[in-house]
């Protein structure tokens, strides 16, 4: 029986494959939504692009294939049908990988249901019983330290239930903050925690979401390592992804697919769509008992040294309640100490017992307080801590972790200067520059 246009429109479900005729042309694609306010039918074409067609202009519409049904025995959204022993757990937090175009604003919003992952990456079903935990739905720039704690606890719960690997989907802007935080809060790990995302929303033809999800699933289930890592495109194409240590990675471009690069290190491995994993450097192995430690003090501030800097920013941050500061200095970690107020502000921090962690804003390379005589003047301040080649973002997160463990300056210094999860290298290898 042939259904009328109105009956077809009423019966459409997200992901149904449809054929639409309007303006004497046929269009094939997936049904996305019906804009009730403007009476528009939105479908995703095979090219990957979306088209909105006014209902009144459609002469005929028919369903070619119903949307992919999710097997509730092997895939479950937490809260609806928990899986007692998942093989793979996916924790969703929002971001571009969980987003699509909002046709009311024209912008992207994190509004994709977690089940959609199985539609854009149906190969996920090949990795056993999958539990999807929709933990939150926010852009990563809105993520706070308390959200990192929630991720750590959710991942820990998944591991305790038997997951052989955990995928965390998140926005890319602050993904490297989150992956670094988890490297300290879950240490050691028995299985990998794989952070991934997308530089292009899922409804764009050029979206990298599907590839990143599949390669993250391969990493989570098959890689021999057990670390907090980032799995994102290594090139502009879908050739392979890098597996990068979560506290040695940085987003180096605002929109390129291959934006995430290792810093002061090499990738841990390459992972390919055929399931091949090519190890590149040493990693922490699976098998150890996972330990959860979410004690953090989030009252840390991040400052950047600059020409003409005064001590006001340092003093004001402390007076406003900062318990610790990270300052990204120039070069080896230099600060304009000829500016009297900067030196006085550092002395004020020392008096108040506030740790000052110094990193280098050059991104690559390490700090060194002994190269220039000006930095040697700070040797009397035991609260000033140089952290060698640790990334600024990682130092910011680690300082929160260190202050959560103790209030004693000597112990904070020891934690900051001791590599806990591979965040500090003994020495730089020039071959690690701009990989």
R_g of the chain, CA atoms, integer Å = 25
Report which of 234, 325, 336, 324 is spatially closest to residue 280, judged by C-alpha positions.
234
Burial letters for 88-105: b for 16+ Cβ neighbours within 10 Å, e otherwise?
bbbbbbbbbbbbbbebee
Residue 341 · residue 312 · CB < 8 Å: yes
Q: For 408-416, which contacts have Cβ atoms below 8 Å and span 24 or more sequence positions? A: 409/353, 409/355, 409/382, 409/383, 410/382, 412/324, 412/355, 412/385, 413/355, 413/382, 413/385, 416/355, 416/357, 416/385, 416/387
The CA-based angle 65-70-73, given to 5 degrees, is 145
Check if the beta carbon of residue 96 is closer than 8 Å to that of residue 197.
yes
Cα 76 versus chain centre, distance: 23
Q: Name 152's bridge partners.
A: none
Active-site residue, 235 included = no
Q: Comparing C-alpha atoms, which of 293, 294, 291 is closest to residue 147?
A: 294
Give the residue from 117, 76, 83 showing the smallest Cα distance to 100: 117
406 in catalytic set: no
Return d(Cα 166, Cα 154) in angstroms, integer.
Answer: 10
Options 44, 50, 92, 96, the catalytic residue: 96
Q: What's phi and psi for 43, nearest 5 deg?
A: -130, 150
* Closest to 333 (Cα-Cα) out of 274, 375, 270: 375
Give the tokens for residue 295. 């004690």
Q: Is 172 a catalytic residue?
A: yes
Written as six digits, the tokens of 71 are: 């097997």
Where does 79-223 show beta strands of DSSP type E? Answer: 88-92, 100-101, 108-109, 130-134, 166-169, 193-196
Helix axes 312-319, 340-352, angle to 10 degrees: 20
From the list 92, 93, 170, 172, the catalytic residue is: 172
251 among known catalytic residues: yes
Q: Which of 142, 157, 173, 428 is catalytic?
A: 173
| Torsion of Cα atoms, 74 then 79 then 83 then 86, to 10° | 80
Catalytic residue from among 44, 78, 164, 251: 251
- Cα 121 from Cα 167, distance rounded (Å): 14
Query: Do residues 246 and 180 lie in contact, with contact meaning Cβ atoms separated by under 8 Å?
Result: yes
Catalytic residues: 96, 172-173, 251
């Amino acid at each position: 029986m042939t259904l009328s246009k109105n009956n077809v429109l009423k019966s459409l479900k997200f992901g149904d494959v449809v054929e639409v005729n309007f303006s004497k042309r046929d269009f094939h694609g997936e049904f996305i939504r019906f804009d009730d306010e403007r009476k528009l039918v939105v479908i995703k074409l095979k090219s990957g692009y979306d088209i909105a067609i006014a209902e009144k202009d459609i002469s005929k519409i028919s369903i070619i294939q119903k949307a992919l049904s999710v097997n509730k025995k092997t895939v479950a959204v937490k809260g609806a049908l928990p899986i007692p022993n998942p093989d793979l757990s996916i924790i969703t937090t929002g971001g571009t990988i969980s987003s699509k175009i909002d046709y009311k604003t024209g912008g992207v919003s994190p509004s994709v249901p977690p089940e959609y992952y199985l539609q854009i990456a149906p190969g996920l079903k090949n990795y056993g019983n999958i539990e999807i935990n929709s933990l939150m739905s926010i852009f990563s720039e809105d993520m706070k330290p308390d959200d990192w704690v929630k991720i750590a606890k959710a991942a820990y719960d998944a591991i305790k239930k038997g997951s052989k690997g955990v995928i965390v989907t998140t926005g890319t802007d602050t993904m490297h903050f989150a992956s670094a935080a988890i490297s300290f809060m879950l240490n050691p790990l028995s299985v990998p925690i794989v952070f991934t995302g997308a530089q292009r929303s899922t409804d764009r033809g050029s979206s990298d979401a599907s590839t990143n999800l599949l390669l993250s699933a391969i990493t989570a289930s098959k890689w021999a390592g057990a670390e907090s890592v980032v799995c994102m495109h290594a090139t502009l194409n879908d050739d392979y992804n890098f597996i990068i240590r979560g506290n040695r990675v940085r987003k180096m471009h605002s929109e390129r697919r291959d934006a995430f690069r290792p810093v002061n290190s090499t990738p841990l491995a390459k992972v390919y769509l055929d399931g091949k994993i090519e190890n590149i450097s040493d990693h922490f192995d699976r098998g150890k008992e996972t330990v959860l430690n979410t004690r953090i003090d989030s009252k840390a501030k991040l400052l950047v040294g600059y020409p003409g800097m005064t001590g006001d920013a340092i003093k004001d941050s402390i007076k406003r309640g900062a318990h610790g500061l990270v300052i990204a200095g120039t070069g080896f970690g230099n600060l304009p100490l000829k500016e009297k107020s900067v030196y006085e502000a550092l002395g004020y921090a020392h008096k108040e017992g506030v740790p000052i962690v110094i990193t280098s804003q050059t991104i690559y390379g390490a700090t060194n307080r002994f190269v220039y005589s000006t930095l040697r003047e700070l040797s009397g301040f035991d609260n000033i801590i140089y952290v060698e080649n640790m990334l600024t973002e990682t130092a910011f997160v680690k300082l929160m972790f260190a202050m959560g463990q103790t209030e004693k300056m000597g112990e904070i210094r020891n934690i900051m200067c001791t590599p806990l999860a591979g965040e500090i290298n003994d020495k730089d290898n020039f071959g690690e520059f701009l990989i």
